[in-house]
Amino acid sequence: MSINTEHFAAIINSRQSKFPCGNDLWVKNTVAAVQDAVKNRYTILSSIGMNTYELVMWSANYFGGRQLVIYPISSLESAYSAADKTIAEFELDIDRTDFKFILASNKNTRANWHKRDETIISLADRIYPISIRKNSTLLPLFSMKTESDFVKKFKTLYKKRKIPKYDIDFNAVERQYPPSGWKYLTHWTHSHSGKWVGGKKARYYEMLVSSGDENPHSARRTLERIEQTERISASSTMIRGDIPVVSFTELPPAEALKLMRWRTGLGRYNFEPFGVAVDKHLAGSIGAKPVIYGNDEVYKKLSKSERAFYQPNGNGKKWHEECEWRYIGDFNLKKLSRDKYFFIKLG
What are the helix (H) ranges across 200-295?
201-209, 219-229, 253-257, 280-285
Extents of the domains making up the chain = 8-149, 170-345
Rounded to an integer, what distance in angstroms lies between the CA atom of residue 23 and that of residue 53? 18
pLDDT higher for 125 or 192? 125
Determine which of 29-33, 38-42, 104-108 has the lowest per-residue pLDDT on average: 104-108
Report pLDDT digits (tens) over 109-163. 667 888 999 999 999 999 999 999 999 999 999 999 999 999 999 999 999 878 8
> Would you say residue 347 has pLDDT above 90?
no
Q: Is 46 helix (H, G, I), strand (E, B) or coil?
A: strand
Query: 318 pLDDT band (50/70/90 cuts)?
Result: confident
Confidence of residue 1 (pLDDT cuts 50, 70, 90): low
**Burial of 237 from C-beta contacts in 10 A (0-12 / 13-18 / 19+):** exposed
3-state secondary structure 268-313: EECCCCEEEEEEHHHHHHCCCEECEEECHHHHHHCCCCCHHHEEEC
150 pairs with which residues across the strands? Answer: 127
Q: What is the CATH number of domain 8-149?
A: 3.40.50.450
In the chain, the amino acid numbered 278 is V
67 half-sphere exposure, CB direction, 13 A CA radius: 33
Cα 198 to Cα 235, 272, 331, distances in angstroms: 11, 22, 15
Is it the case that residue 108 has pLDDT exceeding 70? no
- Whether the predicted pLDDT of 106 surpasses 80: no
Whether the model pTM is above 0.75: yes
CA–CA separation, 125 and 164 (whole Å): 39
Does 190 have pLDDT greater than 70? Answer: yes
Q: Is the pLDDT of residue 3 over 60?
A: no
Q: Is the pLDDT of residue 240 over 90?
A: no
Residue 109: the pLDDT is 67
In whole numbers, what is the pLDDT of the chain averaged over residues?
93
For residue 238, pLDDT beyond 90: no
